[in-house]
Structure 1
Amino acid sequence: MQANVVVVGSLNMDLVARAQRLPRGGETLVGETFVTVPGGKGANQAVAAARLGAQVAMVGCVGDDAYGQQLRQALAAEQIDCQAVSIAAGVSSGVALIVVDAASQNAIVIIAGGNGQLLPESVQRFDALLQQADVIICQLEVPMATVAYTLERGRALGKTVILNPAPASGPLPAEWFANIDYLIPNESEAEALSGLPVNDLESAKAAATRLLAMGVGKVIVTLGAQGALFADAQAFRHFPAPVVKPVDTTAAGDTFVGGFAAALARGEEEGAAIAFGQRAAALSVTRAGAQPSIPHLAELQP
């Protein structure tokens, strides 16, 4: 299979509880519903890219448990190449414990499990997939050394390299930036990476300017209902968000990244690719769950 988008990243089983509000420390709340849903930023972005028109291969690692089998099956059902999704003996698969409140905001705790076993040599074994790719996507839910290797290898191969720095809690290694074509943080991630507060369009511009100065090629700061800010060495562009009534924001950022990558891989101009990713993400927040909320290409056709 020729893969024009390769995702190197995490696969998690999302354990999702809904309640009227998020619990405070030490508090026990009565919830309303509970579901298990395939997720993980890497797998979500792979599913989004596949549903939105790309040929996709996933490089990841699951545990030798029932969740691991289900996670691989979920990707295979989307026609995603899973040859590079390995199974680690003696560990659980990654899980995300998610509570969603009545306002559709969420709080998440992640246990790495098999994701922590995705080492640089795991990626090296499947170098042929990287060589076939047009676009390579990474996040931060697998070991940092693996992300560093993938970014560097993607740059050496001349591929379009995307880093979604999630979840970021502080600065990234300085040497990473020159290997990134598109850095796609949300507000809190842009703040963590730049050291500047980000709460509106103007502060996002300041943060993006600092990130560009660190050596990254281009920056797209996703701002939720405020849209997205694109920045490169020449200019800023603001892309207003489509107006929708949100149900669940889980995987909205992943849907944007996957849709943006799929559009780039089929040759769309970056502005059109951003707008396409936004339309996909807007539709996703009108539905519950991570992967179940991600739309298909046919739903976005005019």
Structure 2
Amino acid sequence: MGLLAICGSITADLIGYGPRLPRPGESVLGRRFLVAPGGKGANQAVAAARSGARVRLAGARGDDAHGELCAAALAADGVELSAVAVHRGATTGVALICVDEAGENQILAIPGANALVTPPSPCGASVWLCQGEIPAAAIDGVLAAARADGALSICNPSPVNAIDPELVGRFDLAVVNELEHEALRGHLPERVVLTRGARGAVLLPSGEELPALPARAVDTTGAGDALTGVLAGGLASGMAIEATLRFAIAAAGISVEREGCQTSYPTRAEVERRLQRSTVP
């Protein structure tokens, strides 16, 4: 089994659940509060590991309670953390998240130690993956590490406009939602996975559409990370892109039926059962 190396953010998610999302200048009385490990890099690492992939994460965190929480959660899922730097006196990244009754969310991300992530070193990976919550030098370093390892390079340029478009186009594969696809038009690599939420995903340039499975959304936070992580993990394990994308779509569908990010991600066995049920007449 090949190794998936991820360079990305590590964040503590502070999540408030309420009847609806607040408008500018408005306060809404919430119903519940949750503190959970998150960050796009860490989320994708956990999603991939639970799907059966070997995963190594490169990143940075503070030596605070939030950093300890995130590191413990990653280690519990078997993610290899020797390339995660611990910065004394720095604060671990934090995401302030509001979720409404329909599962939609608003997110304010505060980078903290994620702004200190440095270019990663080659490690013999089959696939390298990064996102947009780390410095440009680190993203450029992912490309260099992928070249040195002879690995497939994957970019998830999220949040939108967080990565220089010229950098995005140098990756072998990009995973983007519809907003990111529009914003990066003309700057994407030839191979793209276009995610469309409840409508599944499209493989480009072929245009092959893969539908989502029916799901009752409780919390959509981190569903895109679930899909991206599982997709990258499957590719590192040698699966064809069509098969691993179907698997990743099913994993994301399960995740929206549960609260939180990493806490919502299914195991490989859970995804296999969901896919099996979907094919039974």
Q: Same fold (TM over 0.5)?
A: yes
Counterpart in the other structure of 2:269: 298
Matches within 5 A, 1:2-81: 4-81=3-80
Cα gap change, 1:3/1:65 in structure 2, threshold over 3 Å: closer, same or farther? farther
Matched positions, count:
273
Aligned to 2:246: 275
Q: What residue in structure 1 maps to residue 199 of structure 2?
A: 226
| 8 Å contact kept, 2:175–2:195 | yes
Residue 169 of structure 1: aligned partner: 161
User: 4+ residue runs of structure 1 moved beyond 4 angstroms?
Assistant: none
1:193 equivalent to 2:180? Answer: no
1:146 equivalenced with 2:138 (yes/no): yes
Unpaired runs of 5+ residues, structure 1, are: 195-209
Specify which of 149, 154, 157 is matched with residue 157 of structure 1. 149
Give the 3-state SS of the residue equivalent to 1:132 in structure 2. Answer: coil
Give the drift of 1:28: 1.5
8 Å contact 1:3–1:57 — kept in the other structure? no
CA contact (8 A) 1:94 1:113 kept: yes
Structure 1 residues 118 and 48: alpha-carbon distance in aligned structure 2, compared to 1, 3 A threshold: same
How many Å separate the matches in 2 of 1:3 and 1:171? 27
- Give the deviation of 1:163 after TM superposition: 0.5
Note if contact 2:58-2:84 (Cα within 8 Å) is conserved in structure 1.
yes
Q: Is the contact made by 1:170 and 1:193 (CA closer than 8 Å) also made in structure 2? A: no
How far apart, in 1, do the equivalents of 2:49 and 2:209 lie? 27
Post-superposition shift, 1:171? 7.0
Inter-partner Cα distance in structure 2 for 1:24 and 1:286: 25
For residues 190 and 82 of structure 1, what CA distance do their matches in structure 2 show? 31
Give % identity: 41
CA contact (8 A) 1:242 1:282 kept: yes
Ranges in structure 2 where 5+ consecutive residues have no aligned partner:
277-281
- For the 8 Å contact 1:15–1:98, the answer to whether it is kept is yes
* CA displacement at 1:151 relative to structure 2: 1.8
* Of 247, 250, 259, the match for 1:288: 259
The 1:263–1:3 alpha-carbon spacing in structure 2 relative to 1, beyond 3 Å, is closer
Report the alpha carbon displacement of residue 173 of structure 1 after superposing the two structures with TM.
3.7
Cα distance, 1:14–1:175 mapped onto 2, change above 3 Å: closer
Please tell me whether the aligned partners of residues 172 and 193 of structure 1 are also in contact (alpha carbons under 8 angstroms): no
**Secondary structure of 2:49's partner?**
helix
Deviations 1:128-184 (A, max 9, x none): xx3321111100101111112212331343201111111023773425423x12100
Cα offset, 1:90, TM superposition: 2.2
- The residue matched to 1:256 in structure 2 has which SS? helix
Cα shift at 1:243: 1.3
Cα separation, partners in 2 of 1:69 and 1:184, compared to 1, 3 Å: same
Q: Structure 1-normalised TM-score?
A: 0.87
CA distance in 2, matches of 1:39, 1:107: 15
Q: Distance in 1 between matches of 2:229 and 2:182?
A: 22
